[in-house]
Structure 1
Amino acid sequence: MEELILARIQFASTTLFHFIFVPLSIGLVFIIAIMQTMYLVKKQEIYKKMTKFWGIFFLINFAVGVVTGIIQEFQFGMNWSSYSRFVGDVFGAPLAIEALLAFFMESTFIGLWIFGWDKIPKRLHLASIWLVSIGTILSAFWILAANSFMQNPVGFVIQNGRAEMNDIVAVLTNPKLWVAFPHTIFGSFATGAFFIIGVSAWNILKKKDLEFYKRSMTISLIVGLVAGLGIAFSGHSQATYLMTAQPMKMAAAEGLWEDSADPAPWTVIANIDVDNKKSSGRIEIPYLLSYLAYSEFTGKVEGMNTLQEKLVEQHGEGNYIPPVKTTFWSFRIMAGTGGVLILLSMLGLFFTWRKKIEKTTRYLKFLIPAIFLPYIGNSFGWIMSEIGRQPWVVNGLMLTADGISPNVSAGQILFSFISFSLIYTALAIVMVYLFIKVIKQGPNEKPKEDISASDPFSAGGITNAAK
């Protein structure tokens, strides 16, 4: 039992830490590609400067993200060998394609973009950064294809006690994949947008390079608003999907022990009593849960007790109810942060339209900690998705308790957990230090030590940023 708990804690820590970097890379490079496109179209040097400055953050983040991804994959084979043997034929294929296709695509065109300034045609150079952006999105697609199999296993047969892929098309058209993918991408765009917005707000408050940061903020506010709306609509698609594929997760996310009324109200907050299987003190919005579940204002939602009975009949005795409090509150934190992102983006665009953005001191001050809002939403969305699937590691096929490595002791897992945590702490310190260094340096300060460092993407420029 200790091995299971420690393995799950380590999986959560490595995945959550890695997931700090993935959405920022996807979001930043997309906005950088937009900035470079505007430079090519408008031929204004400020957009080239914006592209290069924000590009430094992308490169630092991408480099650290690669290291954390390697460690995150390593712990699969170390702590979850039984799981890997059972689904490796299906789960491993999308991850292999991600590494061989998408990651190598990103790496190749990042190199072309870094060293191609003023050396290759501008349109080809612009195409390279768009291909990097497409590569990051494709990476997310293939990784989500693997994760979606865990949520909704399709395209396989059981042979010799293993799940073996027999239909790659089914894996790639998995309904879970096509509701999770846009939600993840919009969340990533919001992460990149609010990072630029927050850094820009700090500099606008300091009255530094106002035109540079105001333009950066305007572009990012537009992306942030579109992303926020995309998160809301794609989140609704996920809720509708859960009703048919994972109704237990939906019921847990609502704290519903018994079947709901028809129409079903959505619970804003409630006191979840797991021991007595009751939820009290509900504050509800009428009709809303029916709409989330069925896209219409009628229809009831089955409760966890009803679903538990059905699962016992299907799979045998066991507790098939996930950790309800975690699932319930994770969903609300995720949804709440999405709403705040939309509101902040709309306010920012209003102030920009009124040409008052630099005078809205309180709003700008709030935007600085708002950098972390997408991270909070992304993390709790992932927690809700994974915890809400419990007790299954592969929904309906394999219990989480059956997926751990049989020959790895609790002490070994604890040792690797501590070791990885120390590595992650060191990486986090380095990344934060470099980010702060670049922010303080700003887009106009030129390094003194090396003539070539006037270009932040030359060898000298990158070296100086690190210093």
Structure 2
Amino acid sequence: MDVEILARIQFAFTIAFHYIYPPLSIGIGLIMVIFEGLYLKTGNKDYEILTRFWIKIFALTFGIGVATGIIMEFEFGTNWAVYSRYVGDIFGSALAAEGLFAFGLESTFLGILLFGWNRVKPWVHFVSTLGVFLGSMFSAVWIVVANSWQQTPAGYHIVGTGLHARAEVTDFWEMVFNPSSVDRIIHTWQGAILAGAFLVLSVHAYYIRKGRFVEISKKAFQISLVVATLFSLTQLLSGHSTADGVAVNQPAKLATMEGHFQKNSPADLYLLGWVDKEKQTVTGIGIPGGLSFLVHQDFQAPIKGLNDFLVEDRPSQINAIFQFYHIMVAIGMLLIGMTLYASFLWWRGKLFETKWLMWIFSFSVILPQIANQVGWFTAEMGRQPWVVYGLLRTSKAFSQEVASNQIVFSLVLFTVVYSLLLVLFLYSVNKKIKHGPYEEAVAFSNSKNF
């Protein structure tokens, strides 16, 4: 296997593993803010107990997220030296902003969040919880800004030529607000909040099913259900807006996502299917002209197809991108259906008596994680063959002096270490969950749920 493919596999593995944790931190962070805000407003100790419990799980996700994220920065220098030189000015600006606005905010308040109970006033602790949550949100902003610039470059000029060419920022805010950044930031935020909300739903559905901590879990479930319902619905809107942007800025990616080959012709919208790259056909269930309608509100409006582009200028893994994209959409619709149905049962007063639904929610934590992963796969694989869209090809961006055996060795090493980290994370979270939210509150033993 050649160096380019190995370098791509290694980076895909490390970023996919890393991306398990930051979305959970963002989503749990919002839930913690709501729990603690309700505690300050109502004085109800249940909300304090829930806040303390979820802070511990937040700390685990935050710590593993930081540890796994550091590796990617080293990979830029070792495996992607040409790329690093090319985007260094752009990424340097974005990552410096992340350090200033995100890490600075998180590091200021993290200690108070974790160790400040009974040491600071309740409102100070709440401000710290809010500060850590906002810091995680800002961190996502600058990472997505940097990645969005690769998708839709803006606010730059090119200095130098060949292997020594690099992009320099000419307008910082034009770089930040490049054509795809706002849609992608909002969509990423929503996916992250859903990941955290469904983890909370999963844990408290499990408690309700097992008859443990039932009353406090009902409160946590209801609050998380409101969050999950709101963000699953709004994510549908941001997803549509993002797709509209792809149609304008990356038409080859859009054509790949729906397996549309014909030049400048009406495009179908598939619910599911299989792409035959050689025959240039899709076998599946689709809505004729559906993609044309979504983009132009006209079933007969032409959409650029893959045949409008040179073979070397369009993605090669067409069926994989098609499948990843449709898995993401299918899960998104499933989350909407689940949350709306659960909200309906709540309104009818039958939510917690519907045992089969509680069973489904107990395992639902995996769904937003899969959707987040395949969504990123769609975005990054759909950008190929460009690492910076229209400017720098992936085949020209990797380090010329790195040997394939070196990448294989480090990939095996990362796989072992990351697998151990995952096992440690799952073991620690499972231990916290089994112990329950009253870990530090034995005084609450008079509760009927303890």
Query: Which bin holds the TM-score, normalised by the shorter protein?
Result: over 0.9
Aligned to 1:266: 269
CA RMSD of aligned residues (A): 1.8
CA distance in 2, matches of 1:289, 1:435: 42
TM-score by length of 2: 0.94
One-letter identity of the residue aligned with 1:12: A
SS of 2:19's equivalent in the other structure is helix
Please point out which of 286, 293, 307 is paired with 1:291. 293
Aligned to 1:47: 47
SS of 1:271's equivalent in the other structure is strand
CA distance in 2, matches of 1:344, 1:374: 12
SS of 1:357's equivalent in the other structure is coil
Listed one character per residue, the Cα deviations across residues 182-235 of structure 1 (whole Å, up to 9, x for unaligned) are: 000010111011000011111101000101111111111111011101210000
Range with bigger deviation, 330-339 or 125-134: 125-134
Please point out which of 200, 207, 229 is paired with 1:203. 207
Please point out which of 186, 198, 208 is paired with 1:182. 186
CA distance in 2, matches of 1:297, 1:38: 48
Number of paired residues?
440
Aligned to 2:332: 338
Aligned to 2:10: 10
Aligned to 2:60: 60
Instruction: Determine if the alignment matches structure 1 residue 218 to structure 2 residue 222.
Output: yes
Aligned to 1:465: none
Aligned to 2:394: 400
Listed one character per residue, the Cα deviations across residues 352-398 of structure 1 (whole Å, up to 9, x for unaligned) are: 22332332111111112211000000000000000000000000010
Listed one character per residue, the Cα deviations across residues 408-453 of structure 1 (whole Å, up to 9, x for unaligned) are: 10011111111111110111011000001001100124499xxxxx
SS of 1:164's equivalent in the other structure is strand
One-letter identity of the residue aligned with 2:286: E
Go from structure 1 to structure 2 and tell me whether the alpha carbon gap of 1:30 and 1:447 turns closer, same or farther (over 3 Å shift).
closer
Task: Answer yes or no: is the 8 Å Cα contact 1:229–1:342 preserved in 2.
Answer: yes
CA distance in 2, matches of 1:119, 1:291: 58
One-letter identity of the residue aligned with 2:250: Q
CA distance in 2, matches of 1:353, 1:321: 47
Q: CA shift at 1:351, angstroms?
A: 2.3
Aligned to 2:368: 374
Aligned to 2:72: 72
Task: Answer yes or no: is the 8 Å Cα contact 1:322–1:389 preserved in 2.
Answer: no
Percent pairwise identity: 38
Go from structure 1 to structure 2 and tell me whether the alpha carbon gap of 1:45 and 1:297 turns closer, same or farther (over 3 Å shift).
farther
Aligned to 1:425: 419
Q: CA shift at 1:26, angstroms?
A: 0.5
Aligned to 1:237: 241
Range with bigger deviation, 323-332 or 93-102: 93-102
Q: CA shift at 1:319, angstroms?
A: 4.6
TM-score by length of 1: 0.91
Q: CA shift at 1:92, angstroms?
A: 2.4
Task: Answer yes or no: is the 8 Å Cα contact 1:308–1:319 preserved in 2.
Answer: yes
CA distance in 2, matches of 1:260, 1:439: 54
One-letter identity of the residue aligned with 1:121: K
SS of 1:269's equivalent in the other structure is strand
CA distance in 2, matches of 1:321, 1:441: 48
SS of 2:60's equivalent in the other structure is helix
Instruction: Determine if the alignment matches structure 1 residue 153 to structure 2 residue 156.
Output: no
Structure 2: stretches of 5+ with no match in the other structure: 445-450
Q: CA shift at 1:250, angstroms?
A: 0.2
Q: CA shift at 1:296, angstroms?
A: 5.5
CA distance in 1, matches of 2:370, 2:121: 40
One-letter identity of the residue aligned with 1:14: T
Aligned to 1:162: 166
CA distance in 1, matches of 2:258, 2:41: 49
Please point out which of 296, 301, 304 is paired with 1:302. 304
Aligned to 1:355: 349
Listed one character per residue, the Cα deviations across residues 283-328 of structure 1 (whole Å, up to 9, x for unaligned) are: 222443123323555522111001338xxxxxxxx35334111111
SS of 1:370's equivalent in the other structure is coil
Q: CA shift at 1:62, angstroms?
A: 0.3
Instruction: Determine if the alignment matches structure 1 residue 443 to structure 2 residue 437.
Output: yes
SS of 1:359's equivalent in the other structure is coil
CA distance in 1, matches of 2:234, 2:298: 20
CA distance in 2, matches of 1:74, 1:31: 33
SS of 2:137's equivalent in the other structure is helix
CA distance in 1, matches of 2:219, 2:347: 12
Q: CA shift at 1:162, angstroms?
A: 1.4
Task: Answer yes or no: is the 8 Å Cα contact 1:252–1:322 preserved in 2.
Answer: no
CA distance in 1, matches of 2:155, 2:265: 36
Range with bigger deviation, 66-75 or 8-17: 66-75
Aligned to 1:460: none
Q: CA shift at 1:54, angstroms?
A: 1.2
One-letter identity of the residue aligned with 2:102: A
Instruction: Determine if the alignment matches structure 1 residue 193 to structure 2 residue 200.
Output: no
Structure 1: stretches of 5+ with no match in the other structure: 310-317, 449-453, 456-467
CA distance in 1, matches of 2:281, 2:37: 52
SS of 2:365's equivalent in the other structure is helix
Go from structure 1 to structure 2 and tell me whether the alpha carbon gap of 1:197 and 1:65 turns closer, same or farther (over 3 Å shift).
same
CA distance in 2, matches of 1:260, 1:444: 61
Task: Answer yes or no: is the 8 Å Cα contact 1:79–1:405 preserved in 2.
Answer: yes
